[in-house]
Chain A
Amino acid sequence: MKFYPLSIATLVALLVLSVSVSTGQEKMTKEQWQQEINKYTALRTELSTKVKSLTDQIAALRSQSSKLDDDVTKCMDELYALVGSNAELAAAYRAEIEAAENTANGLLRLSDADLMARSDEVEDLEAKVVKSLWENKLSLIPEFWDRLTTLNENVKSLRRTLAGATKMYSVGTWARNRDCLWNISKKEDIYDNAWMWPKIWQGNRDQIKDPDIIHPGQKLMIPQGGEMTAEEKAAARSYYSKLAFQNKNKGGNGQ
């Protein structure tokens, strides 16, 4: 058993070596440290150069941007001057268009009945758009031209809706308004044609039994204009026949 002390000694030596190697793996060597220092120093130099280059580029871009601001302002001033205006007046005009657009959008969202009740606003808007906004020379500038064109389309759409919607008419007194179906039908904003009165009669059969009798304050529905329907024509014929018969009888009685 002579090998026994030697074996123990070898085991101890291996143990000490393995411990020293494992602790050595966690610690940095001087060479590794130097490598890291070199690596980060080079990176610092590279980044510093990059920062400086970017700083210079940013300064140049800022200057370019500032020059462009001046160029754009100058160009816009020249553009307004072409139509005898300036930036301040253009801003006011822009606000006016925006207000008209908001009004048009508000009206476009209304139901037909609500739009009918606010038909005056459509007329005001049309007058404003056509007369005031288009007459301003600033309208020649594309920014405004395009917006006014859209606004015009919206006003036309409102007009079409109003034309298609059913109108209401409140009957006035005979003494003051001379309101009868004939005279109402003759009105320019109704049918502009007295012979169309049967349309109003037929459209309001629930409240007009005798077309010669309507009452002040009655709200009459005014059907859409255009050709009279067969039903309306038949109603008119029936009325005139009845009238002719009554007149004949009156005449006969008188004779």
Chain B
Amino acid sequence: MQKISGTYSSLALALLFSSSLALFGCSSSPDEAELKQLDDLKEETAALQKDVEGKEQEKGALDKEIADKNAKLSKCNGDQQLVKQRLGK
């Protein structure tokens, strides 16, 4: 009988020791509201990243458009000189 009670008390001690280690040995976890805050922040940055990509694309298209217009303007100025020469002949 004494042997059985010794075994139980040892088991209880082991459980108490390990549970206290598991509960207090590590730091605490964030609560639901905090986790939601992090998720919202992640969503916000993802949307911003998408926005940046869209704007970079738009900027690229505008750069090309401007290069084309500059080329057109340059050609027009060259054409003016050529026409003046042809008219002079």
Contact = CB atoms under 8 A, between A and B. Distances in A.
A27 B15 contact: no
Interface stretch (A16-24, A121-129, A163-171, A207-215): A16-24
Size range of the chain A interface in the assembly: 35 or more
A70 B45 CA distance: 39
Given A13-B18, A58-B55, A29 B27 contact: yes
A40 interface: yes
Interface string A4-23: 11101110111111011100
B27 A31 contact: yes
B83 A83 contact: yes
Nearest to A54: B55
B87 interface: yes
Interface string B52-89: 10011011001101100110110011011011101100
Nearest to A5: B7
A24 B29 CA distance: 9
Nearest to A48: B48
Contact of B22 (A20, A44, A83): A20
Nearest to B23: A20
* Main DSSP-derived SS at the A contact region: helix
A158 to B, nearest CB: 27
Interface stretch (A72-80, A97-105, A111-119, A181-189): A72-80
B70 A68 contact: yes
Interface residues of B, number: 52
B22 A17 contact: yes
A37 B62 contact: no
A169 B50 CA distance: 75
A14 B58 CA distance: 60
A153 interface: no
Contacts of B55: 51, 54-55, 58
A31 B35 CA distance: 12
17 contacts: A4-B7, A5-B7, A8-B11, A12-B18, A24-B22, A29-B26, A29-B27, A47-B51, A51-B48, A51-B51, A57-B59, A58-B62, A64-B66, A65-B69, A68-B73, A82-B87, A142-B82
Interface of A: 4-6, 8-10, 12-17, 19-21, 24, 27-31, 33, 36-37, 40-41, 43-44, 47-48, 50-51, 54-55, 57-58, 61-62, 64-65, 68-69, 71-72, 75-76, 78-79, 82-83, 140-143
